Structure 1
């Protein structure tokens, strides 16, 4: 099942700095870098530039579809080990 964790940070509320806390989903994003690299490799992606910044202009739908399949495959392998 889903696990939640308590998060917090300082932010401005009504022009005053306050510590604000909230409940957030506890998720593992450690493998997102590898997911991105595999996606770029699969589509033979070459980054471009906007001004001086390196950018990655990609289809959101395509990477979400790729990511869903990738996460199921890679994370199931971890679970089944």
Structure 2
């Protein structure tokens, strides 16, 4: 859950995340404001890579993408 919290913060916080879903080894994310994304913090949180195109961000986290996405959903639901 700690990695999930760090990823949420690096994506600009819960209010910046529109949608997040796992896709094999990635977290596919839509954010409101891409300028709030901290790619260095995403890497520090364990991301192997970050690809952004507009407000769509893919965070490569490896095979634990499903677990991290579930943890992030729990965090967003409680925010």
- With normalisation by structure 2, the TM-score equals 0.32
Query: Per residue, is there more helix in 1 or in 2?
Result: 2
Who wins on radius of gyration, i.e. which is larger? 1
